[in-house]
Amino acid sequence: MKQDSLNNIVSNLTNSVSKNSNVQFKSVVKMLQDVLLDNFDLIIEANKIDLSNNTGFLIQKEEITKIFNVDMNYCFDKVIDENGSRKQIKNVGNILILFDGNPYVLIELIIKGILFNNSLLFVYNGFMFGVNNLIVNFIKDILLIYGLSRNQVSIYVCEDNSEVENFKSNFDFVILNEEIKCLNIDSFYEEILTN
């Protein structure tokens, strides 16, 4: 499968943040949870291909469930009002994430990106390509169902990050893989909420 050019991805992404305040963002996240868990057999099939290509680890349904059960309660309390709509919050805008391809990180950052109405571009070397591509395609379809831009979340594979250097100025924030491990994403978003 040929991927879109980085120039097209960045152009589409930077114009994709929703201005629609009536979107039930909690419902979007809940649907993502349901789709990932209900279609876990498809994720396993993609995972088998990744494993046969020596580009992955065995993905666990329990770990995906844990992301939704543990991490999301914090976000829901901070971001979602009693009607299920997103509170008035300041969003970062366009975030470039240079990561190692860990699908659990992908899922967590997608959820938080949606809740905080940010556009996300994940760039990596293709590790667990099948699983990550499937997850991103699921979320793109869900975004469309809710009238949001499917370009709000994109993924790009490249051998090294030099290809994205020319595009960094299009992003409001860049997260590097080394920072993901030590960056407390919750405190990062907490800072956004309180500023």
Residue 90 has what pLDDT? 54
Domain span at 60: 21-194
Q: Where are the alpha helices (DSSP H) in the chain?
A: 6-13, 25-38, 40-52, 61-66, 72-79, 103-115, 129-145, 177-182, 185-194
4 domain-assigned: no
pLDDT tens digit sequence for 67-101: 888 656 656 555 555 565 555 555 668 888 888 99
The CATH number of residue 111's host domain is: 3.40.605.10
How high is the mean pLDDT of the chain? Answer: 79
73 domain-assigned: yes
Higher per-residue pLDDT: 59 or 170: 59
Work out the pLDDT band at 160, boundaries 50, 70, 90. Answer: confident
CA distance 76 to 8: 32
Higher per-residue pLDDT: 132 or 188: 132
84 domain-assigned: yes
Total domain count, the chain = 1
Residue 60 has what pLDDT? 97
187 domain-assigned: yes
Residue 56 has what pLDDT? 93
40 domain-assigned: yes
Of the spans 17-21, 156-160, 162-166, which averages the highest pLDDT? 156-160
pLDDT tens digit sequence for 36-46: 999 999 999 99
15 domain-assigned: no
Residue 193 has what pLDDT? 41
148 domain-assigned: yes
2 domain-assigned: no
- Considering the entire predicted model, what is its pTM? 0.81
pLDDT tens digit sequence for 94-151: 888 888 999 998 998 898 888 777 889 999 999 999 999 999 999 999 999 988 888 8
CA distance 109 to 154: 12
